[in-house]
Structure 1
């Protein structure tokens, strides 16, 4: 005798789905907690333990400091980057993130050195203290230098790019690329004005902003973004969204950039001409746009190139380097991107390389397509740049002749 299956119980399915969501949240929270514990524990071990035999007051004071910062860090990040968007908290949390990352990275090297010294028979408190002091000194020096690098006016990086299909009339076209300005909790209105003056001094034909304008709302960052409206170009100023726009007001930033005199290339293109020759400037939304839920937001390269003359060369602005795969398929001549920050704080560049095909610089993909990846004009989060300098990029386009 066979049993007949009844209809599925909707309430049971809903309960199962809810249980899965709860389990995922707990699992995600556990992973984050484990990573934080490891990030803080290793520097504590290298600096205060690992056989250093420091006097008890030093160990106690250092341990208390690590514990307080460890407990305060997630609170500052939630207050700063959660719904409340408290800039003072974000400044503290972001700075702590940068400091602990640098300490962790160099503690890894210090730990390796410590083990090597033990193997070589040069152990004992003296060796452990030497390693601890060395790690602390290197970290402090790099943090001071990294902060200076992050806050300074970006250097201009000049690159010539040969675009075989470029007409002679456009030979020598000067394209300035900005990306990842990330106007944020630290008020950098003066820095932004300096960037605008530097761009204007380059006398560009085209200016591209490859996304991630700001972290925060337009009302919060209006003053920092205002100098974008003072930038000048002969042919066009174009902008596309980055992934960080989709943490807040993506459509609002598109509209605001239009008010500042920029062409927002929201899956569309414009054509610029000089000397009887044309160049298609196309732009697409960030690859995360579709998951934002905003109506009409997604990376649509076919839509961006719809109606474009196939005989004209194409310069595509797309936030993430990994979007180059679609550019290759579409026969794009040159893509400009940002997103990677060049790693921003060494050795994070190695982790970025796992996710992106290129970390920075000019690269070739397929027979026709070239990609230029900017290290970024500003910085995200931690106010440090270590072995990954910021840049304002000047691309000079050359025809094959």
Structure 2
């Protein structure tokens, strides 16, 4: 992980910890205003505090057990934000109306809105949509490209679930399938990895499946039951083309190049990577992290596809990567100096079970005149 990313994540972690501590204090005083807690505690202020804290702790524990501690923090911080929002709304309403309300509207509105909002976020993550792009080129090529990234196998689907997603993509009849990174994760099981590789290998696709590594694929903590070498072997055994700072000419009509991931340290620059390439042919580049647009736009690449950002994942941190100068783009299409760039929100994501700033997708790209 580069220094800029380290600083970004340290700042995010510090902000989350600070928000969680402040949020806990605020939520105790807010939750104790519910009628049930006031009835149980009566005039005992300390008991109201305790019951409110216990209610929050129980909810946090339930989400931790059913999802994870990370997701429990996400749910809790959303609750805090909605309690703050409706607290402000009710102050305005009370001031305008001049009435005090017997019903604790701030609390009930915050709870209901949180449930609905996060349920929508869960739905947007756990369902996968198709997103279409149509690109024009003067080069002699006509291609139907399928692209997906960030399956983080094990987060929202196992090996069988991944196989179903591959059937959906295969049903679109693409000429080629591109996977720019984060196929697996630290939590991925070997059996699911093997089943997913098998599913990609069985896809009936004219030019096959092409893959480049993401920052999670080789693993961070050596906690999973397979090695990076076993992952590579499983991919190769199923006919998946692996590109790590190299390119291949396909059917004598277009090139596919794959970059080593930015987080892994030394890699070729774009000039080195595409050295000696026939620029009269269409050139596709897989680069997991969308953070080298200027150099890629100055190169002979025609199309660069990326993932990594998860489309921003959660409001309000959707564009934090761009704010810190880590990513050139968070999601979607951009054209620079004649090069087309597409960043997908991913077919799944890492750990967090909600997408509130985007949705899960695979991408279909029509390339031609």
Q: Does the CA contact (< 8 Å) of 2:153 and 2:184 recur in 1?
A: yes
Match for 2:86 among 69, 91, 110? 110
C-alpha deviations, 1:350-373, integer Å up to 9, x for none? 3344242322211112x2111111
Counterpart for residue 206 of structure 2: 234
Between the aligned partners of 1:264 and 1:155, the Cα distance in structure 2 is 26
Deviation at 1:221, TM superposition (A): 3.8
C-alpha deviations, 1:286-333, integer Å up to 9, x for none? 11011xxxxxx6364344323322332311111112232321132321
Q: Cα–Cα, structure 1 residues 107 and 369, in superposed 2: closer, same or farther, change >3 Å?
A: farther
Determine if the alignment matches structure 1 residue 132 to structure 2 residue 110.
no
Counterpart for residue 257 of structure 1: 235
Q: Does the CA contact (< 8 Å) of 1:287 and 1:299 recur in 2?
A: no
Counterpart for residue 357 of structure 1: 328
Deviation at 1:92, TM superposition (A): 2.2
How much is the aligned-residue C-alpha RMSD, in angstroms? Answer: 3.3
Deviation at 1:110, TM superposition (A): 2.8
Match for 1:157 among 131, 138, 141? 131
Counterpart for residue 258 of structure 2: 283
Deviation at 1:398, TM superposition (A): 1.8
- 1:61-100 alignment runs, 5 A limit: 61-67=51-57, 91-100=67-76
Which runs of 5 or more structure 1 residues have no equivalent in the other structure?
1-25, 77-88, 291-296
Between the aligned partners of 2:313 and 2:357, the Cα distance in structure 1 is 7
Q: Does the CA contact (< 8 Å) of 1:267 and 1:301 recur in 2?
A: no
Deviation at 1:346, TM superposition (A): 2.7
Counterpart for residue 379 of structure 1: 349
Q: Please, what TM-score do these two structures have when normalized by structure 1?
A: 0.74
Match for 1:269 among 242, 247, 252? 247
SS in 2 for 1:394: strand
Deviation at 1:390, TM superposition (A): 0.8
Counterpart for residue 36 of structure 1: 20
Q: Does the CA contact (< 8 Å) of 2:37 and 2:51 recur in 1?
A: no
C-alpha deviations, 1:221-268, integer Å up to 9, x for none? 425524233223212311111111243455553343222221111111
Counterpart for residue 283 of structure 2: 314
Between the aligned partners of 1:368 and 1:304, the Cα distance in structure 2 is 19
Q: Cα–Cα, structure 1 residues 41 and 174, in superposed 2: closer, same or farther, change >3 Å?
A: farther
Between the aligned partners of 1:224 and 1:64, the Cα distance in structure 2 is 43
Deviation at 1:212, TM superposition (A): 0.8
Between the aligned partners of 1:189 and 1:244, the Cα distance in structure 2 is 17
Which runs of 5 or more structure 2 residues have no equivalent in the other structure?
1-9, 42-47, 221-226
C-alpha deviations, 1:128-186, integer Å up to 9, x for none? x212211110110122232233223x11112111134x21xx22x11000111011256
Determine if the alignment matches structure 1 residue 333 to structure 2 residue 302.
yes
